[in-house]
Structures are given as structure tokens and as C-alpha cells.
Amino acid sequence: MADAASLTPAVGLKNSMRALRRLLPLIALALALFAAASGAARADAFSDALPGFAEDSFSATDTALKAVATSGNPQAKAVIAALQNSALVFDSDSKAVFIKADDGTLLDPTTGKPAANPPSADNLQAVRLNNRIRGALDDALGALTLSSPDRATRLAAADTVFKSRQASAVTALKAAIAKETDPEVKRAMLDAEAAATITDTNAADADRVAAVNVIRDRADPDALALLTGLSSDPSQAVRDAAAAGVASIKNALAIWGVVQNLWYALSLGSVLLLAAIGLAITFGVMGVINMAHGEMVMLGAYTTFVVQAIIRTHAPWLFDWSLAIAIPLAFLVSGAVGVIIERGIIRFLYGRPLETLLATWGVSLILQQGVRTIFGPDNQQVGNPSWMSGAFQAGNITITYNRMWIIVFSFAVFILLLGVLRFTRFGLQTRAVTQNRSMASAMGIRTPWVDALTFGLGSGIAGIAGVALSQIDNVSPNLGQSYIIDSFMVVVFGGVGNLWGTLIAAMSLGVANKLLEPFAGAVLGKIVVLVFIILFIQKRPRGLFALKGRAVEA
Amino acid sequence: MIGRFLFRNIDVTTFVGLVVIIGVGIAVPLLNLYVPDTSPLHVPSYVVPLVGKYITYSLLALSVGLIWGYCGILSLGHGAFFALGGYAFGMYLMRQIGTRGVYGDPILPDFMVFINWKALPWYWYGFNHFLFAALMVVLVPAVLALVFGWFAFRSRVTGVYLSIITQAMTYALMLSFFRNDMGFGGNNGLTDFKDVLGFNVQADSTRGVLFFCSALALALGLLVSRAVIASKFGKVLIGIRDAESRTRFLGYRVENYKLVVFVLSSVMAGIAGALYVPQVGIINPSEFAPANSIEAVIWVAVGGRQTLIGPIVGAILANFAKSYLTTGVLASYWLYLLGGVFIAVTVFLPKGIVGTLADFTRRRRATPSGAEARTPNSTDMTTDAREDLPPSASNPAAAE
């Protein structure tokens, strides 16, 4: 095993299996001894330890506690729990130890029955605790709960031992491992045992090296921390094995890191997609740079806030449905505002795109200030429904539910929109107007009507995006401002009038941002992406997927 | 020859504008310094840097108006050139602080000591010399505009796409300057200035001189802009604005014309920024914020973009209104008003205040006629400026 430092991960795995197999007889032997020494021996260790509590010294208490914890006596748990609750008392004269029950009766710690000849209450003194003993208590309880019938408790106990690395828990662990049937819990216990063995410098080198290999297969940050801590171990063999383990864990973690980054990238890309997709429609169809687009997103977020506020006061049981209720409402609110803007301002400015840009910037200022007047300048509290909060573990990465649902949601919106544009009459008309306005008009399509509805659709989609973004971002009057530049970048990068372009642009910008982040930091990464887009526009002034033909002649 | 180029084409409006600007530039500092407090003609000390700030904003507006009104380039990132000029001059002012900083380091500015830098980064070398800093005020915005414009115009990025990438440019610069590692003071920027050319930057007399310099720079900017647009070069610019492809097909290298005027405009914006910094006393990355650049565009739109006086008038009016309205009870209505002005001006006053007034006087003078050819539904992106120059701003010789 001394050559463990040169092992590749695959060989290492095989080796560790072999090590485990070599270890098995040892464990079996230990268990056999353990079983043989049952009954009297067990009671002995336990009752031998008890007087230690009566010595009224912290170190004696600590020793006694450890002895009790590892004794495996069925009464051990009761004693430790009593110690934790300051219900473990001793007679200052006879040095006899008792457990004081809730009703005041004194119990014999060895049997758990009321004591035969309880001393007078005046002589009783509680065993004193200090912080070190309190810590040891937690470990001891952790070890004891290893045999709890509840699966979750056992798992938690194994984890506690793994973290505390109490060498004294090994005995209890071995007992628990032998009885354990659940593979996951067993795995956790074996890890915990290995962790405890590694830390115990008194254990045999071979055992510790085997334990290092067990830990290596965990391949998570905890394992890395544990093995890194061995770099100055007195034993050369352990040091080598640990170094090999650290290298292989780092490898595995690097792969997980990339996976995690890709997940973040997908998440960011879906947020960008949500924010930009409405703009892609208004810009694509009408050539209107809608600077108030971010405020449509903000209106959607505030709609969510209002819906939740009403639900909280009138129908709290509906809270989990609040987002489902908010989505159509946000679509209607933002869509209606969009139609009003189009009918009231933008239709007077067709053919003057730069001025539309300025007018809609004015609209955005008014909407921001309007929201600020009504709701105040502070962030509003928008809650996550129960199915949006929390996280789960997939391999070594943590996936939060809200991010996951937003990814699902953004793709759902994308597909829905694609369907609307593709298969409905309105979609057909919209595409006709996009491609050739005057010809569409000549064919009897009411282009002003299509314009208004398209603008409403784009704004409504922005509102829906606002519902989703309210779950991951601060809902404040400035919400829209933080998305507007990113949205423009996505639309311009993807090309006007092409939803697939928007999808690809959003995802590639998400990936680019997140892949640059580890090397360059978040801000510099963003700057690099911006510069890249500026340069890209020079190469393809109409974006990745430009419409071809006469329709786009400027 | 330069004199002839500058003064040959001055018309009445420009002349009046120049006289007013220089007049104010001389009068305000004198009324502040030499008229006693008790006199009703006295200008309070706080007014001088305030109006001085408006004048530098006017120069920025003029630079935007020059490229937007006469060449159809709508830059939403001109605040970047303004801020770069400001940073260049701010670096000079920082170096002048010397040992008077909080940490008393003779070379390193306070913020560098604070982030534990040991030596001055190379790009700070030379900024202790006024002339070098002054050169950089011109050169840094010019080089950025040259590189950016060379790429953008050569690949024919026009219209809203150009607007969006200029916005991306200023946004990227803002993010960069917010970083402490850039060595420009992070989000606190450069401040706490003491001297300019050995004179206390806070003193009334220094501020008076700075005020005059701002007015002089504005007058010079107006003169140069006027000379450029009235020249043959300027006629080509207007041709590009109204029909870029046609101008190209006539054999003009459109990208070169655009590049020259873009660089000129960026230099004007840089000088405006350099004069802004000592009067306001601080420059920080928020000057790069896209919203600032858009606001500058609004001044131009309000004043009238197809005139040269318009942007100046617009900047002064808008900023007076802002100073007046953002303090006191009306503060919460300021954004409503600003937003409303954006909408009203673009919908009802596409020529801005000055342009509309000029139209009005022309109509009064001429016999009533409906000769104005309106093409409101034109789909041509580059012809968003639909009309000829109003007579007040156009050269009589252009009619030939």
C-alpha cells in the first residue's frame, strides 16, 4: 500500500476494494470479540465508568463519559441524556451516582429502576459540565443514536461521527455496521468509521491506509478536507495514501465543478431568455427599440407581489397557487400597458426608430416613478411557494428548486411562443408583417392592429418573465433597469425576428458569462462578454440569424 | 487659413450664440468676484460652479448634437467620452494632492495606499504634468472613438444597432471603472482635489477662471462645429444622414466622413468632462452610466437637434429644471416630468424648442405655403431626420 501515491483513480478504486476485503476479517474478528464479551463484560465497562462522574472533576467526567458511550450498555443513553440535562447527580458522601427523573425520584443508572436506598436530597450534587464536555456529549449521543430504529436518525448520527471523528465511536460504529441493512446508511457508517480511524493516530497503519481509501471514494469537499489534514501525519504510508486520495478527489471535484458551472450557465441563460424573448418580438416585428421593456418585467413582478399580498390577507391556503394566478394577471397587466404605449405613443413614431427609443425611455422613467410612488422605493417581499423553495442534491451539486423551475418555465414560454407564432392566425399575420409590411398590408392584413397586438404580446411575455424573476431577484422599481441592457445584448446577438436566435444567444451568453467567471471574476467576465458582442456586431451587423432578403434593407 | 475656415461661415444665430456665451463667461465670474455681496447684481459663490457645470454639459450636448443632428449617428454612449476626459484630468488633480492626502504618500493617491498598492501603475505616469494630462484629455477619448468608430462604421453598423453597441461600450466601461483593480479609485472615483496649476481648486477666483475656460471651450466648440457643418465636408455629412446608401453610391467614403466627425465629437465631449471635474470636485464610475448618456441625448432632442444652438439651450434648460425640481416638494415628480418631456418632445416637437421656434419665424416671414413635404411613414431607417435644415442654421450658400 506504500505505493498508493502513484495510483490512478481506477486502480485506486480496485485497490480500496481489495483493502476493504482485507479489512473485513478484521472487522469480523472485532465483532466476534465484541459479541463474546457481551453481558458481564459490557456491564463491567459501564459500571466501572460510573464512579468517574462522582469525582467532581471535569477530566474524570470526560473519561467516564467516553467510557460509558463506548460501553454499548443499554442504559448508556439514559445516563448521557441525564448528564446533558444536568439530571445526573451523585451523593457527595457515598459517591453513588443516580439519575434524577422528572418527578424527582432517583433512578439507579445501571438498571434504570428506582434506586433501592436513595440518599437524602441534601447530599445530592449535579455533575457539572463545561464546554468541552458538552461537545463530547454531542459526540457521545451521536454515537449512541447509531442504533436508533429511525433511518434518518441513524444517518444523521453517522454524519455527526464523520464530522467529529471521535476515535471512541469506532466500537459503536462497528456494532452498528454489523446490524445495518440499509445500504446508504451503511455507506455513511463505513465512511464515519474510516474518518474516525484515520484521525486516530494510535490505530495500525494498514487500517488507516485502508480508511484513507474508503474516504477517497466519497470524493466530496468533506473528504478532501479530511485527507488534506493528513499531510503532516507521522506515518509515511498514510501520508502517501492521503496525497493520492487528495489528487483523485480534486480531479473528481473539478469535473463536478464544471457540471455545476454548466448548471449555473443554463440557469443564467434561461433568465436571459425570459427577459429578452418579449423584446425579441417587439424589436423583431416592429423594429421598435422598447426601452420600457425592463419596466414591463417589473410590472409583472409587482403584479406577483400584489397577488401574494391579497392571498396572504384573504386566502392563505391559496399561497402555493399564487404564481399560477399571477402569471395570467401579469400577462394582462403588462400586455395592456404595452398596447396603451403602442396606441398612445409608438404608432406616431413609426419609421423613426431612434425617436421611439427616446420616447420609450421616457415611458420607462414614468413607469418606474409610478411604481415608486405607489409601492415605495424599497424592495418588496415576494415569497416562494413551497414547491419553489428548498434544494436537492444531485451528485455533488446542489440544485435549488426555484432555479430549476425557472429553467423549465422559460423553455415552456419559449415553446408556447413559438407555437403561437407558428400555428395561429395571429402568428401568421405577425410573421407576414415582419417579413414585408407593405405586402402584408396589401394582402388585407390590418398592420396597425397586428402592431398593437404584437407589442401587447411582447410586453405580456415580459410581464410573465417578471413573475418568474420575482422569485430570484429583488422586486424594486429598479428591477427592469438591471435586465434591459442584457436583454438588448441577447436580441442583438441573436438576430432580429428569429426566436431561435434569441434562444441560442441567451444560452451562449449565459454559458460564456459563467465559464469566464472562475477565471476572470463576475464583473470582468461580463465586460469581456460585452466587448465580444461589440466586436461580433462588427462582423455580423444583424446578429447570428439575420433575416435575409429585401425586407431588412436599411 | 484656420481662421478663415473657422470664421468664414458664421451666421447670425451662431454669432449671437458666441457673443452670449463669451459674455456670460466673462460676466458671471466678475459679478461674483468684484461686486459686493450687498449688491443685487452679485452672483453667489455656489452659483458659479453650478452654472459652470451646465456649460460643460452644454458642450457635451453640442458634441452629441453634431453627430446626431448632422450625421444621423445616435450615440447612447457619449457619456463615456465625457467621463474619460474627466478621469484624465482627475488623474492630474489627484497627482497634485501630493502629501496632503489622508495617508500623506507623496506619490500614491489615497485609494491606492488604501488597497495596499506599492507603486504607481504605468498608466498613471506623466499625469503630474498639466500638459500631458491635457493631451490625454483629448487623446484618450479620440483614440477610443477612432478604434470604436473604425470598426463600427467600416462594417456599416448603423441606426439602432449602433446606438445599442455604444450603450454596451459605456456600460462595459462603467463596470470596468467600478473595479478597484483598475486603479481608478473603484466606486469612489477620484475626489478630494486640492490644486490646479498651483491654484486652490476651491477658491472663488480659481472657479471663476474655470468658468471662463468652460465658456471659452463651449464657444470654441460651437465655432468649430459651425465651420464643419457649413463646409463642403458638412454637406456630405448631411447627405449621409439623409441617404447614406445614396451618398456611398455617389462615391463618397461614408465611413471616413463618419469617423472624422465621430472623433471630433468625442474630443469635444472629453474636453467638457475635463472642465466638469475640477468644478464639481469628483469623478466616479456612475458618470459612465448609460442613463447619463441617454439624458444628454434628451437635452439635444429638447433643444433641437438640427441646430447647433439647440443642444446648448436644451442642456441649460434641462439642467436648470433638474436643479430646481429635484430639490424641495417637487422632487418626486421630477422623473414624471423628465419622462413626459421625453415623450412630448419626440411626439410633438421632433425639432425641439429651437428648431420649432426657427420654423415659426420662417413661416411668419414667408408667404403661407404648405411646402413642407412630410413622409411620416417612411420605413427607411437612416432617414429618420426628414427635413431640411431650418434656415437659421443653414448656410445661405447651401441653396445654390
Task: Please check whether residue A531 lies inside any domain of the structure.
Answer: yes
Q: Is residue A523 domain-resident?
A: yes
Residue B400 has pLDDT above 80, yes or no: no
- Please, which pLDDT band fits residue A319 given cuts at 50, 70 and 90? confident
Statement: residue B376 has pLDDT above 60: no
- pLDDT exceeds cutoff 80 at B60: yes
Pair (A108, A180) in one structural domain: no
Chain B: nearest CA to A372, how far in angstroms? 9
**Residue that is last in its domain, among A162, A190, A218:** A218
Whose grid coordinates read 463615456?
B80
Same domain, A327 and A362: yes
Residues A394 and A489 grouped into a single domain: yes
Is residue A239 less than 8 Å (CB to CB) from chain B?
Answer: no
Q: Is A535 on the interface with B (CB under 8 A)?
A: yes
Q: What local confidence, expressed as pLDDT, does residue A7 receive?
A: 42
pTM: 0.74
In a mutational test of the B interface, the residue from A530, A533, A536, A539 whose CB has the highest number of chain B CBs within 10 Å is: A530
A:B CB pairs within 8 Å: 149
Closest approach of chain A CAs to the CA of B311, in angstroms?
15
Question: How confident is the prediction for chain A on average, in pLDDT?
Answer: 80
Whether A428 and A454 map to the same domain: the answer is: yes
Answer yes or no: do B338 and A365 touch at CB < 8 A.
yes
Question: Does the structure show a pLDDT above 80 at B109?
Answer: yes
Specify the DSSP class assigned to residue B366. S
Contacts of B301 in chain A (CB under 8 A): 355, 358
CB A75 within 8 A of CB A46: yes
Contact status of A437 with chain B (Cβ, < 8 Å): yes
Q: What is the pLDDT of residues A383-406, one digit of tens each?
A: 888 888 888 877 777 888 888 999
Q: Is residue A313 part of a domain?
A: yes
**Pairwise CB contact (< 8 Å): B154 & A538:** yes
**A548 in the same domain as A416:** yes
**pLDDT at position B235:** 94
Pick from A285, A357, A513 the residue to mutate for testing the B interface (most B CBs within 10 Å): A357
pLDDT mean across residues, chain B: 86
Query: Residue B395 in 3-state DSSP?
Result: coil
Residue of A nearest to B379 (CA): A351
Any idea what the CATH number is for the domain that residue A375 is in? 1.10.3470
Q: What is the ipTM of this complex?
A: 0.80
Residue numbers of the domain that contains A203: 1-36+138-218
CB-based contact B381 A366, cutoff 8 Å: no
Q: How far is CA B70 from CA B261, B265, B394, in A?
A: 9, 11, 11
pLDDT for B379: 40
Is A378 a domain residue? yes
Assess whether A19 and A59 both reside in one domain.
no
Nearest Cβ partner for B343 among A362, A535, A541: A362
- What is the average pLDDT across A321-339? 93
Percent of chain B with pLDDT over 90: 51
Q: Of A50-59, A295-304, B320-329, which one has max mean pLDDT?
A: A295-304
Can you give the pLDDT at residue B331?
Answer: 75
Residue A528 has pLDDT above 50, yes or no: yes
The distance between the two most distant Cα atoms of chain A, rounded to a whole number of Å, is 110
Domain termination residue (choose one: A101, A129, A157): A129
What values do phi and psi take at A37, rounded to 5? -85, 15
Give residue A20's pLDDT. Answer: 54
- CA-based nearest distance B269→chain A, Å: 21
Contacts of B336 in chain A (CB under 8 A): 365-366, 369-370
Residue that is last in its domain, among A81, A111, A129: A129
Nearest to A353 among B340, B343, B381 (CB): B381
Range of A165-174, A525-534, B240-249 with top mean pLDDT: B240-249
> A174 and A69, same structural domain?
no
Residue of B nearest to A542 (CA): B161
Task: Decide which of A246 and B23 is more confident.
Answer: B23
User: How far is Cα B155 from Cα B123, in angstroms, rounded to an integer?
Assistant: 31
The count of structural domains within chain A is 3
Give the separation between CA B126 and CA B142, rounded to whole angstroms: 19
Average pLDDT of A202-215? 79
Average confidence (pLDDT) over A11-15? 52
Position B208 scores a pLDDT of 93
Per the CB < 8 A criterion, the answer to whether B223 and B48 are in contact is no
Please state, in angstroms and rounded to a whole number, the distance separating the CA atoms of residues A359 and A291: 8
Pick the residue of B169, B187, B330, B379 with the most A CBs within 10 A to test the interface with A by mutation: B379
Inter-chain contact A358–B179, Cβ cutoff 8 Å? no
The rounded distance, in Å, linking the Cα atoms of A408 and A412 is 6
Q: pLDDT tens for residues A488-526? A: 889 888 887 678 889 999 999 999 888 888 787 778 888
B294 with A539: Cβ contact below 8 A: no
More confident residue, B322 or A546: B322
Is B305 a residue whose pLDDT tops 50? Answer: yes
In the predicted structure, residue B137 carries a pLDDT above the cut 90:
yes
CB proximity A351 to B under 8 Å: yes
Based on the fold, state whether residues A284 and A363 are members of the same structural domain: yes
The predicted structure's pLDDT at residue B372: 45
Q: What is the mean pLDDT of residues B144-165?
A: 89
B122 contacts: CB under 8 Å, gap ≥ 6: none
pLDDT in tens, B198-219: 888 888 899 999 999 999 999 9
- Which residue from B305, B313, B275, B321 is spatially nearest to B83, judged by alpha carbons? B275
Are B155 and A538 an interchain contact pair (Cβ–Cβ within 8 Å)?
Answer: yes
Q: Which residue is associated with the grid cell 463618397?
A: B252
Is A263 part of a structural domain of the chain? yes
- Measured between beta carbons, the chain B residues lying within 8 angstroms of A349 are 346-347
Q: How confident is the model at residue A338 (pLDDT cuts 50, 70, 90)?
A: very high
Q: Does a structural domain hold residue A231?
A: no
Q: Which of A285, A484, A534, A539 to mutate to test the interface with B (most CBs of B within 10 A)?
A: A534
- Give the separation between CA B196 and CA B97, rounded to whole angstroms: 9
Render A189-227 in DSSP notation, one character per residue: HHHHHHHHHHH-TTS-HHHHHHHHHHHHTT-SHHHHHHH
Q: Residue A531 and residue B172: Cβ atoms within 8 Å?
A: yes
**Grid coordinates belonging to B380:** 427607411
Nearest to B336 among A349, A369, A530 (CB): A369
Is A289 part of the contact surface with chain B (CB cutoff 8 Å)? yes
Q: What was the pLDDT predicted at A43?
A: 53
Is the CB of A358 less than 8 angstroms away from the CB of B160?
no
Looking at residues A260-271, what average pLDDT do you find? 89
Residue among B164, B332, B380 minimizing CB distance to A373: B332
Least confident of A107-111, B273-277, B359-363: A107-111
Tell me the pLDDT band of A156, cut-offs 50, 70 and 90.
confident
> B23: pLDDT confidence band, cut at 50, 70 and 90?
very high
- Residue A90: phi, psi to the nearest 5? -140, 155
Q: Which residues of B touch A533 (CB under 8 A)?
A: 165, 168
- The sign of the dihedral angle between the CA atoms of A76, A80, A82, A83 is positive
The answer to whether residues B169 and A363 touch, using CB atoms and an 8 Å cutoff, is: no
Instruction: Give the closest of A287, A363, A538 to B152, CB-based.
Output: A538
Q: Tell me whether residues B346 and A349 touch, CB distance under 8 A.
A: yes
Residues A493, A515: one domain? yes
Q: What is the pLDDT of residue B389?
A: 36
Q: Which residues of A touch B350 (CB under 8 A)?
A: 352, 355
A115 grid coordinates: 434506586
**Are A301 and A411 found together in one domain?**
yes
Q: What is the rounded average pLDDT of the residues B298-325?
A: 90
What is the per-residue pLDDT for A41? 47
Give the C-alpha separation, A483 to A491, whole Å: 12
Shared domain for A281 and A164, answered yes or no, is no
Residues A120 and A199 in one domain: no
Q: Give me the residue from B161, B290, B342 closest to A362, CB to CB.
A: B342
The band of A39, judged by pLDDT with boundaries at 50, 70 and 90, is very low
Proportion of chain B above pLDDT 70, given as a percent: 91
**Residue A236 domain-assigned?**
no
Q: Which residues from B are below 8 Å from A353, CB to CB?
A: 159-160, 381, 384
Q: Do A352 and B168 touch (CB under 8 A)?
A: no
Q: Calculate how close chain B gets to A448, using CA atoms only, in Å.
A: 12
Name the grid cell of B171.
Answer: 456600460
Asked if the model's pLDDT at residue A190 lies above 90, the reply is: no
Position B84 confidence tier, pLDDT thresholds 50, 70, 90: very high
What residues of B are in contact with residue A509 (Cβ under 8 Å)?
A: none
The answer to whether residue A512 sits within a structural domain is yes
